[in-house]
Structure 1
Amino acid sequence: MRKILVLVAAFISLQAVAQAPKKQGQRHKEGRQTMMNMSAEDMATLQTKKMTLMLDLTASQQTEIQKINLENATKRKAIMAEHKAKKESGLLQKPTQEEKVARMHAMLDHRIAVKAKMKKILDKEQYEKWEKAQKRMAMKMQDKKNGMQKRHAHKE
């Protein structure tokens, strides 16, 4: 009887290990794939609704922010499509230092412009809440980036 219980326990533990959850990289890849399949309008609408819930936006604020989010989503979709096309054609190369600097300048200029637009649309309390959320997201992205760098360093 004891041997049977040991065998059953071993079988159950093997089943639990065999059904391990997906790794974080797989989930990230699936989420990225979902974003690629979404239209820019859908992405902008989802982002606007999330912001409406977080910041309690008025109807006019929602309309203005929808425009900003649509513009951002359209740019993001174009960049992702360009990157995917280069990758599939084999033309994707590591950017030069000048290209990296130019990309960073463009990104920061865009962030500054978005921040100025948001400051005009949101009231003081909403703007502060939005800024805190932006900082949290930036820290999260930085942590993620640092985690990836550590993993790549261990592989080498």
Structure 2
Amino acid sequence: MKKVFLFLTLCISVLTYAQERNGAVEKMNAEQQTILQVKRMTLALDLSLKQQEDIKSLLLERAQKKAAHQLVQKTKKEKGEKPTASEKFEMHSQLLDAQIEFKSKMKKILSEEQFKKWEKLRNRKGKKIDKKSPHQRNQ
């Protein structure tokens, strides 16, 4: 009887905890994420006000493009459409082109020392992401 009672108590506590947590998580919008990212970069790289404004507009533009692309992909997925090999190649190619463009714009905004430090921070972040499982990368 004690074991049954303990088991039921454990199940109820786990279920209530899971329910509370599930509804509490809300995503920030693109502008909020951008503001926080610029503030973190300001602390790490000691950015000037002009650099902060330039980077904020650059990051916001990138976030908006990403959101639009995700919306298109989501609608395609809901329709059951899967990308062909050539479409996958094109998406990867566009992604790499966007990354190259973003990096060159950051190089123009940041000083040489700031840019080197920014690249080190990015590489460190990339290594952390690589250590995660594939399921965690997509979140």
Query: How far does residue 15 in structure 1 lie from its aligned partner after superposition?
Result: 4.4
**How big is each residue's C-alpha offset from its partner over 1:77-108, in whole Å with a ceiling of 9 and x where there is no partner?**
111222233334x2x43322211111111111
In structure 1, distance between residues paired with 2:107 and 2:46: 15
Partner of 1:109: 97
Structure 2 residue aligned with 1:83, among 58, 73, 85? 73
In structure 2, distance between residues paired with 1:97 and 1:139: 28
Partner of 2:86: 98
Does 1:45 find its partner at 2:31? no
In structure 2, distance between residues paired with 1:127 and 1:58: 14
Partner of 1:148: 134
In structure 1, distance between residues paired with 2:73 and 2:33: 19
Partner of 1:69: 59
Partner of 1:127: 115
* Identical-pair percentage: 38
How many residues in Structure 1 have an aligned counterpart in Structure 2? 128
What is the 5 A alignment of 1:13-52? 15=10, 19=14, 34-35=27-28, 38=29, 40-52=30-42
In structure 1, distance between residues paired with 2:101 and 2:95: 10
Structure 2 unaligned blocks of 5 or more: none
Give the 4+ runs in structure 1 shifted more than 3 A: 18-22
Which of these two proteins has the greater Rg computed from alpha carbons? 1
**How big is each residue's C-alpha offset from its partner over 1:15-57, in whole Å with a ceiling of 9 and x where there is no partner?**
49x54987xxx98xx87x614xx1x322322221221122111
TM-score (norm 1): 0.66
* Higher mean C-alpha deviation, range 92-101 or range 49-58: 92-101
* Cα 1:43/1:110, change in 2 over 3 Å: same
Query: How far does residue 58 in structure 1 lie from its aligned partner after superposition?
Result: 0.6
**Higher RCO (Cα < 8 Å, 6 or more apart):** 2
